[in-house]
């Protein structure tokens, strides 16, 4: 006898199948249309980064769906998610094949093909149930701090488990009723048949199968209909978020404000990608782990913003929803733009850009706190390094130009003069630039796009008039702005951070740092140098050159480095200090007595935190150039 089975044996009427299918698809499409309508409230953002691919595209979406390694981190999450996804994929394909045979009359399931089909679907169902069990174990038994469980999380797992389990019960009842000569190819279905036979006997198997079939069909069609109305909307939103995403290196430049668009004070002030991200968010909580706001008393993280944004986007008054309801004012203006949350986000969320877009709307509508207004006023009047500060520095020699950051202009630390002395030892002549304005990076990240454009255009003209080809700066924020955000204006200048220049000079033998005994040293990675640009090696090589050993590493380092709490134009001083205290505790636990950094703002914030209290032996905080100039003795 050839292996096969009667399709839709003892099933409900075809009218029921047709009605349930049409109803489920109608509700499904209504949910998809609702989501698309919410996403298209926003505008299409642009990033002008010459010579680079603008979007993640189909390749990124394909990797997100098929491979998922970028999304799932950890020893359990990737396997469990792959088990659920591919199990459902095979079950869906199996249902489609059954539908083709049932409604088109094409005989596909017979012989060895049928047996293989049966076994594959059996294994697919087992894989889904194992994945669900692992997910429930991690969420409800392990309970990592980053996860916040809600009723809809349990509903998503239980609903899916019900669909799969009821399918096994239907199969078991069918095997019991028909004798199931091929039940050996259905280990779970055969086991269920044995249990049903023991519990209810075989006399009621046909009626039981009929009842279970309706239950399974109802659960399956309900689950299909609710996909875009539930947490499973991420099945559509995550691939779309990856498709619209910007490659990591290109995110260093903020997206420009939409040309020709007036700010409306509604969700229309946000880019479409931000609204897609809200639905793509699965509330994994990874963004909280390194967020400087969440690690302090604020306890706000991008997940909060995503929750509120999702609620507003799908609300009845979404067209008039106010961006101010997305995140509270304290959190909005405390974000440093460090992008630690983005590095951890599995759906390629671009939260820093979202924060800036919310700030732009707040500034345009006049809803800004007084400290922010004062900071912007200072930035508007900020010029550059006073002329007397550049005495002794040749101003007419062509070659390497030095861009003075705001900290240089304010004379806030000794790193500037230490750098000049090292350059003198190396025989390198710097030409001091005196641009008409601050680089504009802080203004842009605070949301004042008009001020940034004004400052950047005048600085661009100045650089062009000076014939500048190579610029060195100590400030990672200036480094990022000049390197990534002036390109759209036509600025063609090579920009180096001073640690990169010093590392090159040391590699060429132009400058030598004699080894001296130094206390244990750790290096704090500035976000705009490390996480933004991947520059981790140069500072560490320089410390090794000065001390004869690599710095000790803190728990969070390199791409996972904690922010100091400053930068990004933030005016949240208390948040910055609280974050800096967390960072110094990490340095102490690593056994470091000296924290070296390559950012004037990091140095200032960490030094202020280190100066608190009455500790007998406080951690020293120094600039890298200063550390090198003193021969490794801070």
SS3 111: helix
Residues in the chain: 634
Q: What is the pLDDT of residues 435-486, one digit of tens each?
A: 888 888 889 999 888 899 999 999 999 988 888 888 999 999 999 999 988 8
Query: How many CA atoms does the CB half-sphere of 472 hold within 13 Å?
Result: 20
What is the per-residue DSSP string for 554-606?
A: PSS-GGGPPP-S--TT---HHHHHHHHHHHHHHHHHTT-SEEEES-HHHHHHH
Q: Which residue's structure tokens are 């610029």?
A: 471
Q: Where are the alpha helices (DSSP H) in 382-517?
A: 406-410, 415-426, 441-446, 449-466, 476-480, 498-508
Kindly state the tokens that stand for 421.
């002395």
Q: What is the pLDDT of residues 176-210, one digit of tens each?
A: 888 877 778 888 888 888 888 887 776 788 888 88
Give this prediction's pTM.
Answer: 0.84
| Per-residue pLDDT, 200 | 73
CB 245 within 8 A of CB 60: yes
CB 90 within 8 A of CB 119: no
Q: By percentage, how much of the chain surpasses pLDDT 90?
A: 28
d(CA 356, CA 598): 25
d(CA 437, CA 435): 6
Alpha-carbon distance values, 150 to 56, 154, 231, 308 (Å): 32, 7, 11, 15
First to last CA, the chain: 87
| Per-residue pLDDT, 395 | 46
Closest by CA to 216, choosing from 19, 85, 6, 20, is 20
Higher pLDDT, 43 or 91: 91
| Per-residue pLDDT, 52 | 52
Identify how many contiguous H helices and E strands the chain contains and give both numbers: 24, 7
Q: Does domain 508-629 have CATH number 3.40.50?
A: yes
- The answer on pLDDT for 32 being more than 60 is yes
CB 409 within 8 A of CB 389: yes
Closest by CA to 546, choosing from 599, 497, 503, is 503
| Per-residue pLDDT, 389 | 42
- The answer on pLDDT for 228 being more than 90 is yes
| Per-residue pLDDT, 344 | 87
Alpha-carbon distance values, 258 to 32, 42, 263, 445, 537 (Å): 26, 10, 9, 16, 37
Q: Does domain 381-504 have CATH number 1.20.120?
A: no
Return all residues near 104 (Cβ < 8 A) that are at least 6 apart.
none
d(CA 183, CA 190): 5
Q: Identify the sign of the CA torsion 306, 312, 318, 323.
A: negative
Task: State which CATH number among 3.40.50, 1.10.10, 1.10.1060, 1.10.3210 fits the domain covering 254-368.
Answer: 1.10.1060
Q: Identify the sign of the CA torsion 191, 194, 198, 200.
A: positive
| Per-residue pLDDT, 575 | 77
| Mean pLDDT of the chain, nearest integer | 83
The average pLDDT across 529-539 equals 93
- The answer on pLDDT for 573 being more than 80 is no
| Per-residue pLDDT, 421 | 85
| Per-residue pLDDT, 545 | 85
- The answer on pLDDT for 55 being more than 70 is no
The average pLDDT across 522-551 equals 92
d(CA 313, CA 277): 11
CB 528 within 8 A of CB 497: no
| Per-residue pLDDT, 320 | 59
d(CA 79, CA 607): 44
| Per-residue pLDDT, 365 | 78
Fold equal for 254-368 and 508-629: no
Return all residues near 406 (Cβ < 8 A) that are at least 6 apart.
382, 438, 442, 475
CB 526 within 8 A of CB 539: no
Q: What is the pLDDT of residues 604-631, one digit of tens each?
A: 889 888 887 655 568 889 999 888 888 6
| Per-residue pLDDT, 390 | 42
| Per-residue pLDDT, 567 | 76
Label the pairing between strands 620-623 and 594-597.
Answer: parallel
Closest by CA to 576, choosing from 232, 373, 333, 287, is 333
What is the per-residue DSSP string for 55-87?
A: S-HHHHHHIIIII-TTT--STTHHHHHHHHHHH
d(CA 622, CA 631): 13
Closest by CA to 557, choosing from 586, 520, 533, is 586
DSSP state, 313?
H
| Per-residue pLDDT, 391 | 40
Q: What is the pLDDT of residues 83-122, one digit of tens each?
A: 999 999 999 999 888 888 877 777 777 778 888 988 999 9
SS3 350: coil
| Per-residue pLDDT, 552 | 93
- At residue 129 the predicted structure's pLDDT band, cuts being 50, 70 and 90, is very high
Q: Where do the structural domains in the chain lie, given as residue ranges?
A: 73-229, 254-368, 381-504, 508-629
Q: What is the pLDDT of residues 242-283, one digit of tens each?
A: 888 888 888 888 887 766 566 666 777 788 898 999 999 988
Lowest mean pLDDT among 9-13, 268-272, 518-522: 9-13
Q: Which residue's structure tokens are 């006023």?
A: 377
Q: Which residue's structure tokens are 């792959």?
A: 82
Q: What is the pLDDT of residues 353-409, one digit of tens each?
A: 888 888 888 888 788 888 888 888 888 866 555 544 444 444 444 468 888 887 765
- The answer on pLDDT for 49 being more than 60 is no
As beta bridge partners, residue 523 has 596
Label the pairing between strands 470-473 and 494-497.
Answer: parallel
d(CA 462, CA 491): 10
Cβ neighbourhood burial of 454 (10 Å; 0-12, 13-18, 19+): middle
Q: By percentage, how much of the chain surpasses pLDDT 70?
A: 88
Q: Identify the sign of the CA torsion 495, 496, 501, 504.
A: negative
Return all residues near 587 (Cβ < 8 A) that are at least 6 apart.
522, 524, 554, 595, 619
Alpha-carbon distance values, 289 to 9, 80, 125, 292, 583 (Å): 52, 22, 34, 9, 13
Task: Order the strands of the 430-432 sheet from edge to edge.
Answer: 430-432, 400-403, 470-473, 494-497
| Per-residue pLDDT, 385 | 52
- At residue 423 the predicted structure's pLDDT band, cuts being 50, 70 and 90, is confident
């Amino acid at each position: 006898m050839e292996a096969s089975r009667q399709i839709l044996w003892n099933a409900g009427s075809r009218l029921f199948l047709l009605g349930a299918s049409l109803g489920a698809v109608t509700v499904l499409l209504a949910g998809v249309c609702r989501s698309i309508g919410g996403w298209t409230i926003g505008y299409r953002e642009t990033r002008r980064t010459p010579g680079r691919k603008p979007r993640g595209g189909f390749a990124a979406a394909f990797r997100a769906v098929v491979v998922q390694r970028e999304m799932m981190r950890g020893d359990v999450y990737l396997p469990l998610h792959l088990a659920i996804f591919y199990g459902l994929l095979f079950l869906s394909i199996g249902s489609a094949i059954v539908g083709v045979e049932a409604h088109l009359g094409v005989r596909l399931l017979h012989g060895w093909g049928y047996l293989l089909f049966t076994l594959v679907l059996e294994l697919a169902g087992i894989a889904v149930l194992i994945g669900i069990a692992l997910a429930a174990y991690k969420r409800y038994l392990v309970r990592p701090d980053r996860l916040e469980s809600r009723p809809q999380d349990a509903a998503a797992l239980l609903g899916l488990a019900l669909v799969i389990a009821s399918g096994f019960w239907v199969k078991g009842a069918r095997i019991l009723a028909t004798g199931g000569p091929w039940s050996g190819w259905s280990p779970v279905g055969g086991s269920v048949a044995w249990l049903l036979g023991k519990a209810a006997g075989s006399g009621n198997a046909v009626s039981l199968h009929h009842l279970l079939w309706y239950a399974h069909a109802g659960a399956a069609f309900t689950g299909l209909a609710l996909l875009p109305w539930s947490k499973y909307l991420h099945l559509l939103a995550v691939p779309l978020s990856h498709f619209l995403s910007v490659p990591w290196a290109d995110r260093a430049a903020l997206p420009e404000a939409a040309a020709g668009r007036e700010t409306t004070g509604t969700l229309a002030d946000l880019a479409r990608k931000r609204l897609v991200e809200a639905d793509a968010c699965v509330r994994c909580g990874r963004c909280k782990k390194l967020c400087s706001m969440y690690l302090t008393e604020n306890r706000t993280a991008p997940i909060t913003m995503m929750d509120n944004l999702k609620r507003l986007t799908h609300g009845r008054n979404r067209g008039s929803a106010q961006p101010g309801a997305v995140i509270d004012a304290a959190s909005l203006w405390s974000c440093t733009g460090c992008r630690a949350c983005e590095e951890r986000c599995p759906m390629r969320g671009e939260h820093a850009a979202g924060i800036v877009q919310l700030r732009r709307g707040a500034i345009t509508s006049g809803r800004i706190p007084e400290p922010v207004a004062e900071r912007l006023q200072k930035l508007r009047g900020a010029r550059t390094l006073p002329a007397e500060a550049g005495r002794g520095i040749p101003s007419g020699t062509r070659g390497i130009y030095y861009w003075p950051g705001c900290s240089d202009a304010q004379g806030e630390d000794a790193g500037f003069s230490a750098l000049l002395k090292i350059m003198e030892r190396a025989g390198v002549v710097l030409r001091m630039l005196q641009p008409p304005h601050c680089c504009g990076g802080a203004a842009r990240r605070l949301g004042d796009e008009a001020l940034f454009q004004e400052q950047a255009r005048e600085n661009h003209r100045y650089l062009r008039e000076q014939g500048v080809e190579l610029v060195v700066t100590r400030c990672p924020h200036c480094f990022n702005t000049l390197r990534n955000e002036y390109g759209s204006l036509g600025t063609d200048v090579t920009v180096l951070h001073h640690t990169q220049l010093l590392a090159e000079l040391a590699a060429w033998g132009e400058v030598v740092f004699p080894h001296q005994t130094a206390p244990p040293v750790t290096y704090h990675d500035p976000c705009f140098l490390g996480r933004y640009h991947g520059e981790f090696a140069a500072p560490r090589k320089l410390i090794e050159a000065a001390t004869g050993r690599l710095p000790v590493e803190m728990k969070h380092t390199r791409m996972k480095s904690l922010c100091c709490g400053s930068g990004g134009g933030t005016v949240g001083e208390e948040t910055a200090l609280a974050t800096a205290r967390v960072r110094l505790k990490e340095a102490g636990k690593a056994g470091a007595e000296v924290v070296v950094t390559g950012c004037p703002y990091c140095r200032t914030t960490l030094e202020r935190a280190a100066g608190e209290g009455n500790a007998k032996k406080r951690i020293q905080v120094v600039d890298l150039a200063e550390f090198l100039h003193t021969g490794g003795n801070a």
